[in-house]
């Protein structure tokens, strides 16, 4: 039985985005190389949190076109996170295994967001087909 979604907190993608942000925050605060690079540290944390921020903000607008637009931004932030993590790996700031696990998580989340975007897009098209009252 599917549980009715009544708030953004009910969304699995929001929950997963929060988990990824938590892991990245810990990595940014605990890694001695990232700690020293204030710009990279801030950008990494900001990009990680923006995934769940955009899901929450889009949901709260309570209309499909806005939700779709914010999901699109969340999906983009998943790519931004992967890019930053791969750079960190390239610089050998973090063990490859840690980076690849986080990249895989972000890639999987991006895919899940993309699947929801498809469903929301279908709803948008259906709403456009409905006769205006």
Q: Domains of the chain, with CATH numbers?
A: 11-128 (1.20.1440.60)
Q: What is the pLDDT of residue 132?
A: 72
pTM comes to: 0.92
Confidence grade of residue 3 (pLDDT, cut at 50, 70, 90): confident
Cα atoms in the 13 Å half-sphere on the side-chain side of 119: 7
Q: What is the pLDDT of residue 131?
A: 78
State the average pLDDT over residues 62-80.
Answer: 97
Q: What percent of the chain has pLDDT over 70?
A: 98
65-73 long-range Cβ contacts below 8 angstroms, 24+ apart: 65/124, 67/120, 68/117, 68/120, 68/121, 68/124, 71/113, 71/116, 71/117, 71/120, 72/117
Confidence grade of residue 2 (pLDDT, cut at 50, 70, 90): low
Q: What is the pLDDT of residue 133?
A: 65
Sign of torsion, CA 60 49 21 13? positive
Contact 43, 84 (CB under 8 A): yes
């Amino acid at each position: 039985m599917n549980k009715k979604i009544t708030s953004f907190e009910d969304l699995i993608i929001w929950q997963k985005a929060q988990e990824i942000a938590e892991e990245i925050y810990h990595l940014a605060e605990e890694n001695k190389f990232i700690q020293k690079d204030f710009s990279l540290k801030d950008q990494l944390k900001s990009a990680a949190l923006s995934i769940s921020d955009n899901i929450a903000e889009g949901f709260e607008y309570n209309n499909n076109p806005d939700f779709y637009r914010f999901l699109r931004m969340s999906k983009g932030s998943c790519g931004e996170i992967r890019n930053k993590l791969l750079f960190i790996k390239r610089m050998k700031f973090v063990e490859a295994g840690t980076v690849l696990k986080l990249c895989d998580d972000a890639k999987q989340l991006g895919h899940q967001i993309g699947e929801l975007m498809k469903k929301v897009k279908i709803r948008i098209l259906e709403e456009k087909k409905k006769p205006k009252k």
